[in-house]
Amino acid sequence: MVNYLYSESSLARIRRGVRSLLPWGRRGRPSGAPPGSSGPA
């Protein structure tokens, strides 16, 4: 197996290629919230 490393620049490269999308939808919880705070039904 192999570990591919994602550096800041590789993430920035993906970010440039991905248009703005809503990170959390109506059913989701904010990304920093602890599990169980409002999970999927």
Partner 1 sequence: MTRRLRQACELARQIGAGGAADRERLEGFRRLVAELGPEGRLGLFTWLSEELEVARAGIAGPAAALQSASEDDREAWNAAVRELRRSLASPRQRLFEALINTGGGMQLVLDLRCEVLEAQRQGQAGLEALEEDLGHLLNRWCQHGLLYLEEIDLGSSYRTVRFLKERELVHPMVSLDEMAQRLGRDRACYALYHAAMPDEPVVFIEVALSRGLLRSIDEVIGGAAGARRSAKPPDTAIFYSINSTQNGLAGLGLAQVLILRVTDALRTRYPSLQTFATLSPIPGFWPRYLRPILEGRDEGFRLTREAVVELLSGRLGAALLERRPAAAGTDDDPALALAEVLAAPDWLADPGLCRLLRRPLLDIAYTYLAEETDRRGKPLNPVAGFHLGNGATVSRANLNFAANTSERGLAESSPSPAV
Q: Cα–Cα distance between 37 and 39 in angstroms, integer?
A: 6
Residues 12-31 as x/- pattern, contact with partner 1 by CB under 8 A:
-xxx-xxxxxxxxxxxxx-x
Total residues contacting partner 1 by CB under 8 A comes to 33
Shortest reach from residue 36's CB to partner 1, in Å: 5
Buried-state track 13-33, b at ≥16 Cβ within 10 A, e below 16? eeeeeeeeeeeeeeeeeeeee
The footprint of partner 1 (CB under 8 A) covers: 1-7, 9-11, 13-15, 17-29, 31-32, 35-36, 39-41
